[in-house]
C-alpha cells in the first residue's frame, strides 16, 4: 500500500506540474482561436514589471567647461547641427547583420574488459566443511570467487549551424549613464496573417559610436540582448507539446 500511495502522489504531482505549466499558454491559445495574435501595447519601459535601471561601474564625472558666447560645443561632429541621438527619448537606427557559421563534431568510444579470480584454500578449516557438503569436485578452494565484466560506450555527435540575419530596428534612448553612455531599448512587432514576429534589442552604447546619419551597428552595443522570434500558428507547430517538454525535463534517462 505504501508503494501505491507514493505512486499516486507522484502522479498527482506530475499532473499538477503539467497543468501549471500549460495554464498560461493554454489560456492565451484558447483566447486567440480564429483570431490573429494580439500585438503588445506601446508602454513606458519604466513602468513595466521587472524593469530595473542599469547600474555599471562609472569613472568620476568631470565638470564640463563652456566658453561664453561660443558656438562650438564639445562632443559635436558637425558645426551647424548634430542629428544624432543625445538624450533620453531620442531615437536611432540599429543595423543588425549577423553571418555566422559553425561546425562541431565529436566522437567518443570507450571499451573496458575486466576479469578477476580469487581463492581461499585455508580458512580456519571451514573450506573442508564446504567440500563435505558438496560433491568432491564441485568446490575448488583456489577458485572460490570468479568475476568477469565488460562494458562498451560509444558516442557520436555533430552540430552544424548557419545564421544569416539582416535587420534594421529603431531604438530609443531610455537612460543616460553618469559617464555619458546611453542605455537603449527597442522593440518591433510585425503580424503576417496568423504569425506575429517580434524583435527586441537592449544594451549600452557610446554616443561617439553613433554615425552622422544616426545609425549604429549592433557590434558596438555592450551588454547587447537581441531577440528575434514570434508566436502564432507556425511557431506553435514547430514547438513540441508542453507535456513532452516537461517529460524531457524531468525524465532522467
Q: Which of 238, 167, 235, 230 lies closest to 39 in space, CA to CA?
A: 230
Look at residue 138 in the predicted model and tell me its pLDDT: 58
**Structural contact between residues 202 and 172, judged by C-beta atoms closer than 8 angstroms:** no
Number of domains in the chain: 1
Considering the domain boundaries, does residue 189 fall inside one?
A: no
How far apart are the C-alpha atoms of 197 and 169, rounded to whole Å? 13
Considering the domain boundaries, does residue 202 fall inside one?
A: no
Considering the domain boundaries, does residue 58 fall inside one?
A: no
Considering the domain boundaries, does residue 128 fall inside one?
A: yes
**Structural contact between residues 197 and 163, judged by C-beta atoms closer than 8 angstroms:** no
Look at residue 93 in the predicted model and tell me its pLDDT: 94
Considering the domain boundaries, does residue 71 fall inside one?
A: no
**Structural contact between residues 164 and 99, judged by C-beta atoms closer than 8 angstroms:** yes
pTM over 0.85: no
Each residue's pLDDT expressed in tens, for the chain with a length of 253 residues: 555 566 667 667 766 666 665 566 667 666 766 677 777 787 888 888 888 888 878 778 766 666 666 666 665 555 666 678 888 989 999 998 887 777 878 788 878 777 766 666 666 666 666 666 655 555 566 666 666 777 777 777 777 877 777 889 999 999 999 999 999 999 999 888 888 888 999 999 999 999 989 999 999 999 999 888 888 877 777 777 777 777 777 777 5
Considering the domain boundaries, does residue 116 fall inside one?
A: yes
Look at residue 70 in the predicted model and tell me its pLDDT: 64
Q: Which residue range is the domain that position 150 belongs to?
A: 105-157
Considering the domain boundaries, does residue 153 fall inside one?
A: yes
Sheet containing 182-192, strands listed edge to edge, beginning at the edge strand earlier in sequence:
215-217, 91-118, 145-176, 182-192, 195-205, 222-232
Number of C-beta neighbours around residue 54 at 10 A? 13
Considering the domain boundaries, does residue 23 fall inside one?
A: no
Q: Which of 108, 112, 107 lies closest to 152 in space, CA to CA?
A: 112
Q: Which of 3, 11, 38, 2 lies closest to 250 in space, CA to CA?
A: 11
Amino acid at each position: 500500500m505504501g508503494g501505491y500511495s507514493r505512486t499516486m502522489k507522484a502522479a498527482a504531482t506530475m499532473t499538477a506540474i503539467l497543468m501549471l505549466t500549460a495554464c498560461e499558454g493554454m489560456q492565451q491559445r484558447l483566447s486567440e482561436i480564429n483570431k490573429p495574435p494580439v500585438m503588445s501595447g506601446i508602454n513606458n519601459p519604466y513602468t513595466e514589471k521587472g524593469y530595473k535601471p542599469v547600474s555599471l561601474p562609472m569613472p568620476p564625472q568631470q565638470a564640463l567647461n563652456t566658453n561664453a558666447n561660443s558656438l562650438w560645443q564639445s562632443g559635436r561632429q558637425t558645426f551647424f547641427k548634430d542629428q544624432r541621438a543625445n538624450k533620453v527619448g531620442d531615437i536611432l537606427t540599429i543595423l543588425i547583420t549577423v553571418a555566422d557559421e559553425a561546425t562541431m563534431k565529436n566522437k567518443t568510444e570507450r571499451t573496458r574488459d575486466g576479469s578477476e579470480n580469487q581463492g581461499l584454500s585455508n580458512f580456519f578449516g571451514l573450506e573442508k566443511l564446504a567440500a563435505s557438503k558438496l560433491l568432491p569436485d564441485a568446490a575448488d578452494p583456489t577458485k572460490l570467487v570468479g568475476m568477469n565484466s565488460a562494458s562498451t560506450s560509444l558516442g557520436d555527435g555533430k552540430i552544424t549551424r548557419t545564421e544569416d540575419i539582416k535587420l534594421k530596428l529603431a531604438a530609443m534612448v531610455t537612460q543616460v549613464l553618469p559617464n555619458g553612455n546611453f542605455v537603449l531599448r527597442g522593440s518591433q512587432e510585425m503580424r503576417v496573417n496568423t504569425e506575429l514576429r517580434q524583435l527586441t534589442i537592449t544594451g549600452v552604447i557610446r554616443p561617439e559610436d553613433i554615425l552622422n546619419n544616426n545609425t549604429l551597428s549592433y557590434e558596438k552595443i555592450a551588454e547587447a540582448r537581441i531577440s528575434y522570434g514570434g508566436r502564432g500558428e507556425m511557431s506553435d507547430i514547430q514547438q513540441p507539446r508542453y507535456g513532452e517538454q516537461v517529460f524531457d525535463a524531468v525524465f532522467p534517462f
